Amino acid sequence: MSEPLRQYKFEVRIDHHEHPDALFTEVSGLGGEIEFEEYKEGGVNDFVHKLPTMAKYNNLILKAGLTTNDLFYRWFEEIARGNTDLRTVEINLLDLKNSDSVLKSWTFHNAYPVKISQTDLNAQTNGIMIDTIELAHTGMEIK
């Protein structure tokens, strides 16, 4: 029997870079669903056929502490100007004892930013500024 995996040690790589591109504190949107169409067969009253039609994937949402690295802003600006800049985004869940060992991996194809935001500025707090970038993509592989 295997133990459940811990969620807090992970890395994000863009376009298969050798080193992680940023230190993210949170990743969400690791999923999708299959849409289906119901088909009622004449004379069969005890069930309805559910036929798969299309895969639909959640947008990937990455959160990181705000730094002077403007990689994601430049990428967002390229898309905003109408330039096609699709990339591969890989999320690797790492072994707690050996950071070089990947326990699980999610790869998102043809990803591009659709939304970017930062924490509001507030002189009455001393919290960390958080960058949030939301990415659309055309599909996901899980290894």
Q: Of the given ranges (5-19, 28-42, 85-99, 115-129), which has the lowest mean pLDDT?
A: 5-19
pLDDT band at 110 (very low <50, low <70, confident <90, very high): very high
Q: Does some domain include residue 15?
A: yes
Cβ neighbours around 1 below 10 Å, total: 2
Cβ neighbours of residue 10 closer than 8 Å, sequence gap 6 or more: 24, 27, 91, 92, 93, 94
pLDDT band at 126 (very low <50, low <70, confident <90, very high): confident
Q: Does some domain include residue 46?
A: no
Q: 107 pLDDT exceeds 80?
A: yes
- What is the mean predicted confidence (pLDDT) over 93-99? 82
Q: What is the pLDDT of residue 61?
A: 96
pTM of the predicted model as reported, rounded to 2 decimal places: 0.82
Q: 80 pLDDT exceeds 80?
A: yes
Interatomic CA distance for residues 10 and 25, integer angstroms: 9
Q: 67 pLDDT exceeds 90?
A: no
Q: 6 pLDDT exceeds 70?
A: no
Number of domains composing the chain: 1
Q: Does some domain include residue 22?
A: yes
Range of the domain at 127: 10-30+58-142
Q: What is the pLDDT of residue 52?
A: 96
Q: Does some domain include residue 26?
A: yes
Q: 21 pLDDT exceeds 70?
A: no
Q: What is the CATH number of the domain that holds 16?
A: 2.30.110.20
- What is the mean predicted confidence (pLDDT) over 40-64? 92
